[in-house]
Chain A
């Protein structure tokens, strides 16, 4: 086979994938950044260059600041709850028996069901008049809550849904991490007279830290991207209490047709997600010398 063809072959093999990525990932990012410096209402063929105006407008917009705050709050709460409870759960459920497999499967099941299903289900569960949650509260003598209809509780309600969905996944990933710890290490620790808490703190936790970081970052990035639950359950309300970044972009792009402005918000999202990703890779490369 001629040597030129040989040398071109690998490029030919990666070309299809690269074309898709360049076209639908890399180019759009560039395009979005470009658009963020313009004003455009999608219908007219004219895109006016406005420099940093969009950004200035955004930072002066109270709603945007609230959106940022909501996103941050939502993310922090979700990640803390979803990973913080997953670790003790993983330690509790970490055993290879049919019963344990059943329990693990049960808590994992929400992860593979569509978010639409979950959003609709929980909208019904959280119905202020006839929902099951209020019914359960009633059993304990607690007065019903307004859940999604109250600006004070709406965001927290969404957090509950998010935690319900991701808890199983986080737990199982932790379990996988726990099971990758060679059992001899734990035996050696037992022979070293290590008490359970000491073993956890000084041996298990350090060895689990790559998994922990992975989950935290994955959950963080996922939380910033939340959209479906908001679109179906609250539409950003009431009074913008559940308006988060992606929904904000969606509204400005598809409802108010302020493309440039929406793109600018998209760039902000890009910066946040990009930073988190970089942090993850930096942490990963530092701790990769474990095995």
Chain B
């Protein structure tokens, strides 16, 4: 297992700057997930770590050693590709053996390693089959086995689960987590699916347009986002963001001017319009546009003066008619300035009881 450092890394493709200036440290032994929308640079970053792309400028170090000029094969990095990249003209055994042969591992040792890895990956019955005759999940295991057998310092996985069906994906997710626990190797994992990221990583790097929006453990990202992008990226449905100026019941004190206010759908409570409000919070009056019932959860879409927003509830379905008040506790409100940065020193307080016309 090894620590990976990217220092002032810049990547340009034919005049287009994909990564303007990246500084990132991946801790040894961690399961770090790079997540972000398509084109955010996460795959490029991964490939630069592996050595498949060369950075335009900047340094990359693995375990303290500068690897800018080291070829991919010599970086002690193993990669699992999105499409598995299994050699079609070789059997499963051949696929796993290829890297070992190239390193000059003697035959007996090779056979032992292959046998062991196949037991762990459950591939022993398929050793002499070619990739074409295997299912998606089996091919994935072969790709994993091929990577594991090299006993690398770093495991790189480029959206390995995106080609699997939902059920298999869930299964493989837990298997990968267990694998990480057992091996303790540094895992660098790329995905565009934030649910996958949140459930697997112990450290998540949210990227957008080649920049790191925030890098933190999952719960920190959820509870304490640095910026609007991260706040809206994590969570299903994503955080509601409304322009502060159009929320009449809002009063703040502290530093900064709030341009946007955000709150998570699961932190809002619905009450009928006529109800007595016992909680201290922001009250938004709205009309219910749609209701989704997912059994244990209900998701409502409401329309108000400031825009539309979602409310997620685990209680019984709302029976108060088409109009409702959404109440968000003050401490669950997030404030952002015009550039999308989080204003942490701003607080919401109870508005003055003004004699505002109703």
- List the one stretch of A10-18, A104-112, A181-189 in contact with chain B: A181-189
B residues lining the A interface (CB < 8 Å): 50-52, 71-74, 77-79, 81, 83, 85-90, 98-99, 102-103, 132, 146, 150
Q: Do A187 and B99 touch across chains, with their CB atoms under 8 A apart?
A: no
Q: Which of B79, B81, B88, B90 has the most CB of A within 10 A?
A: B88
Q: Do B89 and A207 touch across chains, with their CB atoms under 8 A apart?
A: yes
Q: Do B73 and A194 touch across chains, with their CB atoms under 8 A apart?
A: yes
Residue in B72, B89, B90 whose beta carbon sits within 8 Å of that of A187 in the complex: B72
Closest 8 CB pairs of A and B: A193-B73, A192-B99, A184-B85, A206-B89, A188-B85, A193-B102, A190-B72, A184-B81
Q: How many residues of A contact B (CB 8 A)?
A: 20
- The minimal Cβ–Cβ distance linking B84 to chain A, given in whole angstroms, is 8
Residue in A182, A185, A190 whose beta carbon sits within 8 Å of that of B73 in the complex: A190
Of all chain A residues, the one with the shortest Cβ separation from B152 is A191
Of all chain A residues, the one with the shortest Cβ separation from B94 is A202
Contacts of B50 in A (CB 8 A): 187, 191
Q: Do B98 and A190 touch across chains, with their CB atoms under 8 A apart?
A: no
Contacts of B86 in A (CB 8 A): 188
Residue in A182, A189, A195, A290 whose beta carbon sits within 8 Å of that of B83 in the complex: A182
- The minimal Cβ–Cβ distance linking B110 to chain A, given in whole angstroms, is 13
Binary flags per residue of A189-212, CB closer than 8 Å to B gives 1, else 0: 111111100100011001100000
Q: Do A198 and B102 touch across chains, with their CB atoms under 8 A apart?
A: yes
Bound form: Cα–Cα A207–B89 in Å: 7
Bound form: Cα–Cα A182–B89 in Å: 13
In the assembled complex, A255 has its CB within 8 A of some CB on chain B: no
Q: Do B88 and A193 touch across chains, with their CB atoms under 8 A apart?
A: no
Bound form: Cα–Cα A117–B103 in Å: 54
Bound form: Cα–Cα A126–B55 in Å: 53
A sample of 11 inter-chain contacts (CB < 8 A) reads A188-B86, A188-B87, A190-B52, A190-B73, A191-B51, A191-B79, A194-B102, A195-B102, A203-B87, A207-B89, A290-B132
Bound form: Cα–Cα A291–B83 in Å: 13
Bound form: Cα–Cα A290–B74 in Å: 30
Bound form: Cα–Cα A187–B87 in Å: 11
Binary flags per residue of A24-46, CB closer than 8 Å to B gives 1, else 0: 00000000000000000000000
Bound form: Cα–Cα A92–B4 in Å: 36
Contacts of A191 in B (CB 8 A): 50-52, 72-73, 77-79, 99
Residue in A187, A192, A195, A290 whose beta carbon sits within 8 Å of that of B88 in the complex: A290
In the assembled complex, A289 has its CB within 8 A of some CB on chain B: yes
Contacts of A194 in B (CB 8 A): 73, 98-99, 102
Contacts of B74 in A (CB 8 A): 193
Q: Do B89 and A189 touch across chains, with their CB atoms under 8 A apart?
A: no
Bound form: Cα–Cα A182–B86 in Å: 10
Contacts of B81 in A (CB 8 A): 184, 187-188
If A193-B99, A207-B89 are given as contacts, then 8 extra A-B residue pairs at C-beta distance below 8 Å, sorted by A number, are: A184-B85, A187-B50, A187-B52, A187-B72, A187-B81, A188-B85, A190-B51, A202-B87
Bound form: Cα–Cα A62–B187 in Å: 75
Binary flags per residue of A251-291, CB closer than 8 Å to B gives 1, else 0: 00000000000000000000000000000000000000111
Of all chain A residues, the one with the shortest Cβ separation from B73 is A193
Bound form: Cα–Cα A198–B103 in Å: 12
Of all chain A residues, the one with the shortest Cβ separation from B89 is A206
With A182-B83, A187-B52, A289-B132 given, is the CB distance from A192 to B102 under 8 Å? yes
With A193-B73, A198-B102, A289-B132 given, is the CB distance from A182 to B52 under 8 Å? no
- The minimal Cβ–Cβ distance linking B255 to chain A, given in whole angstroms, is 49
- The minimal Cβ–Cβ distance linking B327 to chain A, given in whole angstroms, is 51
Contacts of B98 in A (CB 8 A): 189, 192, 194, 202
Q: Do A203 and B89 touch across chains, with their CB atoms under 8 A apart?
A: yes
Contacts of B51 in A (CB 8 A): 190-191
- The minimal Cβ–Cβ distance linking B307 to chain A, given in whole angstroms, is 43
Contacts of A198 in B (CB 8 A): 102
Binary flags per residue of A216-241, CB closer than 8 Å to B gives 1, else 0: 00000000000000000000000000
Contacts of A184 in B (CB 8 A): 81, 83, 85
- The minimal Cβ–Cβ distance linking A285 to chain B, given in whole angstroms, is 15
Of all chain A residues, the one with the shortest Cβ separation from B158 is A184
With A188-B79, A188-B81 given, is the CB distance from A193 to B89 under 8 Å? no
Bound form: Cα–Cα A195–B85 in Å: 18
Q: Which of A185, A289, A290 has the most CB of B within 10 A?
A: A185
Q: Do A193 and B78 touch across chains, with their CB atoms under 8 A apart?
A: no
Of all chain B residues, the one with the shortest Cβ separation from A287 is B89
Bound form: Cα–Cα A278–B132 in Å: 26
Contacts of B87 in A (CB 8 A): 185, 188-189, 202-203
Q: Which of A192, A198, A207, A290 has the most CB of B within 10 A?
A: A192
- The minimal Cβ–Cβ distance linking B190 to chain A, given in whole angstroms, is 14
Binary flags per residue of A118-141, CB closer than 8 Å to B gives 1, else 0: 000000000000000000000000
Bound form: Cα–Cα A192–B78 in Å: 8
Bound form: Cα–Cα A108–B50 in Å: 38
Contacts of A206 in B (CB 8 A): 89
Bound form: Cα–Cα A23–B71 in Å: 62
Of all chain B residues, the one with the shortest Cβ separation from A289 is B132
Residue in B71, B85, B103, B146 whose beta carbon sits within 8 Å of that of A185 in the complex: B85
Contacts of A185 in B (CB 8 A): 85, 87-88
Q: Which of A202, A206, A207 has the most CB of B within 10 A?
A: A202
